[in-house]
Amino acid sequence: RLRHALRDYFPAALVAFTDLDAPDTLELLARAPDPDAAKRLSFKQIRSALQRARRRDLDAKATEIQAALRAEHLGQPAVVAAAYAATTRATLAILAALAEQIRVLEGEVGAHFGRHPDAEIVLSQPGIGAVLGARVLAEFGDDHARYASAKARKNAAGTSPLTIRSGKKKTVRTRYVHNDRLVDALMMQAFVALRVSSGARAYYDLQRARGLGHNAALRQLANRLVGILHGCLKTRTTYNETTAWAHHTNTNTAAA
């Protein structure tokens, strides 16, 4: 809603602020919710907002934002811009309240999830934090006898491909019947793991080299990470980057 409103009367804000839910963006938009007020923002005001949001490269970022806000764009008549600015202030207040409540809920989730006996193992997995870990554990369940093997857990997660055989014909398809909440959480984990795990990144790159698209390669990575999680829960050990990807690395080396 905020993005659509800004596009109609304040397009410079969309150029200046890439993350509309970032603390510095919310602060600066609340201070200057219309183009004229934004042009009057000083370098010091912008830099201070960035500093409170713990941004890096403050001077360069503040200069970039100030230049974007002062650039010429098509605008609305003053009375229309004022009306839009009023709705923007209301939207910003709602976003601020939501952000605060999200922080409160995250604290509650972290406090309760942290007491679970599997929490340490789940949190050790690449790409998983307290909120995502609680979600994954809740959807999988904590009965250790529920999944007889890693394959069973992968099938339940919906990340493994579905193989259909009929006579001499074999077809491999994506599983369309699955737990949406669990698959979404696992795909999110896989996406984050690309940045924090060299093994996950190498595995994803290998799938792309095989000709798979981004989503298909990410699903394959999510499937692999489910198997790693299963092994860690079964052996009651935390994630180890070398151990988790050793077989994959050795196979690639042998093939080369």
Residues 82, 146, single domain; the answer is no
Query: Does 238 lie in the same domain as 128?
Result: yes
| Residue 185 · residue 114 · CB < 8 Å | no
Q: Which of 91, 110, 129 is the last residue of a domain?
A: 110
Evaluate whether 91 touches 1 at the Cβ level (below 8 Å). yes
Q: Verify that 132 and 68 share a domain, yes or no.
A: no
Q: What is the model's pLDDT at position 123?
A: 95
Kindly give the residue spans of alpha helices, DSSP state H, lying in the chain: 2-9, 11-16, 23-31, 35-39, 43-52, 58-70, 78-113, 119-123, 130-140, 150-157, 180-196, 198-209, 214-235, 241-255
Q: Give the pLDDT score at 74.
A: 84
Mean pLDDT over 64-73 rounds to 92
Instruction: Check pLDDT > 70 for residue 102.
Output: yes
Among the listed residues 229, 219, 240, 248, the one whose alpha carbon sits nearest the alpha carbon of residue 147: 229
Instruction: Determine the 3-state secondary structure of 183 from DSSP.
Output: helix
- Looking at per-residue pLDDT, the higher value among 87 and 106 belongs to 87
Which of 87, 110, 133 lies at the terminal end of a domain, its last residue? 110
207 is in which domain, residue-wise?
119-255
pLDDT higher than 90, residue 231: yes
pLDDT tens readout for residues 104-161: 888 888 888 889 999 999 999 999 998 899 999 999 999 989 999 999 999 888 888 7
User: For 19-61, how does the pLDDT look when each residue is reduced to its tens digit (9 = 90+)?
Assistant: 888 889 999 999 999 999 999 999 999 999 999 988 889 999 9
Cα gap 139→225, rounded to integer Å: 15
Residue 133 and residue 178 in one domain? yes
Residue 169's SS3 state is strand
User: What's the pLDDT band for 173 if we cut at 50, 70, 90?
Assistant: low
The residue out of 110, 127, 155 marking a domain boundary is 110
Q: Considering the chain, what percentage of its residues have pLDDT values greater than 90?
A: 68
Q: What is the pLDDT of residue 112?
A: 87
Same domain, 102 and 135: no
Domain co-membership, 138 together with 25: no
253 pLDDT above the threshold of 60 = no
What is the percent of the chain with per-residue pLDDT over 70, rounded to a whole number? 90
pLDDT, residue 108, reads: 86
Task: Assign 63 a pLDDT band (cuts: 50, 70, 90).
Answer: very high
Of residues 202 and 107, the one with the higher pLDDT is: 202
Number of structural domains (the chain) is 2
Q: Tell me what pLDDT residue 144 has.
A: 87
| Residue 123 and residue 250 in one domain | yes
Instruction: Indicate yes or no: pTM above 0.85.
Output: no
Q: Hey, what are 103's tokens?
A: 């922080």
Both 39 and 105 in one domain: the answer is yes
Shared-domain flag, residues 151 and 251 = yes
Phi, psi of 58 (to 5 degrees): -60, -50
The pLDDT value recorded for residue 251 is 56
| More confident: 36 or 247 | 36
Q: What confidence tier does 194 reach under pLDDT thresholds 50, 70, 90?
A: very high
Same domain, yes or no: 166 and 214: yes
Residues 23 and 146 placed together within one structural domain of the fold: no
For residues 193 and 85, state if they share a domain.
no
Write down the pLDDT at residue 122: 96
